[in-house]
Homo-oligomer: A and B are copies of this chain.
Amino acid sequence: MIGRALRLLDAFDAQRRELTLSELARRADMPLSTAHRLMQELCAWGAVERDADGLYRIGLRLWELGSLAPRGPGLRETALPFLEDLSQITKENVQLAVREGTEVVFVERIAGSGAVPVLTRVGGRFALTATGVGLVLLAHAPAEVQEEVLGGPIDRYTAKTVTDPRQLRRMLADTRANGFSISDRQVTMDALSVGAPIRDRHGEVIAAVSLVVRHGSTTPHALARLVRTSAQAISRALSA
């Protein structure tokens, strides 16, 4: 069963990049002998590595494979110059993200020189309902995804986080109508983000870009124009 091996790999995360065999077996909930055999196979192929200390880590081989993901590094490559422009002009935080299931995955993040510290990490995940990029991606997601997200429990991060499905639906409609989203202090009380959709050649929304600024520092609509323009430029670059 291939699922077993994948469960083992799942045991790694940003906090735990190095694990002992026992920890792996515990976290993946399987007998030690099974974990041992599977890890040996993964090791032989290079998916994981292990040195004298006996700890397992994600291997280079897996990283190489991962860097072939079109929606990850592929997207990142073509978008990067535009994101840097945006960062240069505004001196604010720029984020690039895609949707995976019912979550946002951050693909790139450029920290602006004098900007609010952001808590997202490249490769990290977040709820679709709170961030600027999340709202854009949710607004253009298939109906079934929207229902699943709006029907389920909605995480609250601050007093300003919108958790009412009716209100969220209105925000999504606005996002579609305006071509940009605003998340005002929904993640932290000192930050606001403005997101815009990136489309493929067929017009499908495949990613989102956003600016994250300190609350009150600028008017959202000024940012919206910049972000939308940048998103459109990226869309064009992708279609070329």
Q: Which of A62-70, A83-91, A157-165 contacts B (4 or more CB under 8 A)?
A: A62-70
How many of these chains are in the complex?
2
**Is A126 interfacial (CB-CB < 8 Å)?**
no
Whether A64 contacts B5 by the Cβ 8 Å rule is: no
Whether A69 contacts B60 by the Cβ 8 Å rule is: yes
Q: Which of A44-52, A130-138, A166-174, A230-238 contacts B (4 or more CB under 8 A)?
A: A44-52
A37 → B minimal CB distance (Å): 10
- Rounded to whole angstroms, the CA-CA distance of A17 and B68 in the bound complex is 6
Whether A67 contacts B68 by the Cβ 8 Å rule is: no
Question: Taking each of A59, A60, A61, A123, which has the highest tally of chain B beta carbons within 10 Å of its own beta carbon?
Answer: A60
A57 → B minimal CB distance (Å): 5
- Rounded to whole angstroms, the CA-CA distance of A65 and B58 in the bound complex is 7
Q: Which of A22-30, A71-79, A177-185, A186-194 contacts B (4 or more CB under 8 A)?
A: A71-79
What would be 5 A-B contacts, judged by CB atoms less than 8 Å apart?
Answer: A2-B38, A2-B42, A59-B71, A62-B65, A64-B123
